[in-house]
Structure 1
């Protein structure tokens, strides 16, 4: 599916696979393998940025994925993120959707928020926030109604 479908239908906290049509190079060709890995992998959907424009500039919007696991160290997490513009020609697929009872730990940035951690439950989310020391945090529990609404409204990507 396209990155636009991910933007429109995938929930924050979903695990997303991304790929191009190039076959994986052999382990011996390290440079080609590194280039291939930039366009092929998985990551947690941590942010959807809407398109914006004004008189001077405009952006197409984007989705941001966090490869690997969630980290308490915000600087390391920021460095690891991959952002894909909504006109990306890569192919995307949802490989995991958050389940009821999981809790999104979101940090507020003005009108937008970014997922810092997907906790197994509320106690885990509170523990993570206490250990991390992050501020401007909002906890959002994934509820059955959200999952059902996604299915009924066709947002199951």
Structure 2
């Protein structure tokens, strides 16, 4: 899939893989392997942004994938996210869509919101919010309508 198809079709919370199509270098080539891993990995879709105009320049629409966290004990020290423009030349694939009935927790209302957690159900979402305390959090359930639209329109997790 192209980046624009991920932007158009993949629901927030999906696990997305990206690749440049090159083979993985051997483990002994540390620098080559590190460079390859930046262009071949996976993450959870946490945000979609439309095009923005600043002065005379317009940035293309983009989406952001959460790749992982660097933790120390139980504290997240660094969050690793990657943002891709719709003009990206990488190949993308949806590995997994959010399950029916799961709850998306966004950091704030509005178009610039970002997924901060995908809970199994409403009870788990409320328990997570009690611990993590996001005062402006917005909860959104993954509905059957969302999944049905994918099947009616011929969308798949490929």
> Normalised by the size of structure 2, how large is the TM-score?
0.88
Structure 1: runs of 5 or more not aligned: none
Aligned residues: 154
Change in Cα spacing, 1:138 to 1:9, as seen in structure 2 (3 Å) is same
* 1:88-109: CA deviation from partner (whole Å, max 9, x where unpaired): 0000000000111100001126
> Normalised by the size of structure 1, how large is the TM-score?
0.89
Residue 76 of structure 1: aligned partner: 78
Change in Cα spacing, 1:74 to 1:133, as seen in structure 2 (3 Å) is farther
CA distance in 1, matches of 2:82, 2:153: 28
Task: Give 1 or 2: higher strand fraction.
Answer: 2
Task: Give 1 or 2: higher helix fraction.
Answer: 1
| 108-117 or 16-25, larger mean C-alpha shift | 108-117
Alignment check: 8 A CA contact 1:10 1:155 kept: no
* 1:105-147: CA deviation from partner (whole Å, max 9, x where unpaired): 0112653211001111111111111111122110001111111
CA distance in 1, matches of 2:153, 2:19: 27
Structure 2: runs of 5 or more not aligned: none
Alignment check: 8 A CA contact 2:16 2:95 kept: yes
